[in-house]
């Protein structure tokens, strides 16, 4: 749960820097969901960055799940507002 610290913008910037595609969004329960597509070493680096989060954030857990590639998110990394 990371709200009010720019976590979504942080995640987008980190993903773009690592050339990872996908999305980040807030969930109604206060958690943040990141869906990422990229090379395994880039995904590992993104996870590490997400575990630390932006300045003033307090990340207590990052849970990782395998997912199918969704072709809608293979070109860039966006902030989305639908859940």
Q: Which residues are catalytic?
A: 8, 26
Name the nearest CA neighbour of 65 among 42, 83, 47, 45. Answer: 47
Determine phi and psi for 51, rounding to 5 degrees: -65, -35
How far apart are the C-alpha atoms of 20 and 32, rounded to whole Å?
17
Could you say which DSSP state residue 78 is in? E
Half-sphere exposure for 18 (CA within 13 Å, toward CB): 25
């Amino acid at each position: 749960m990371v709200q009010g610290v720019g976590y979504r913008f942080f995640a987008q910037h980190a993903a773009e820097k690592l050339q990872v595609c996908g999305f980040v969004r807030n969930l109604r329960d206060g958690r943040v969901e990141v869906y990422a597509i990229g090379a395994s070493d880039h995904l590992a680096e993104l996870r590490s960055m997400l575990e630390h989060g932006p300045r003033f954030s307090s990340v207590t857990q990052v849970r990782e799940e395998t997912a199918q590639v969704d072709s809608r998110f293979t070109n860039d990394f966006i902030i989305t507002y639908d859940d």
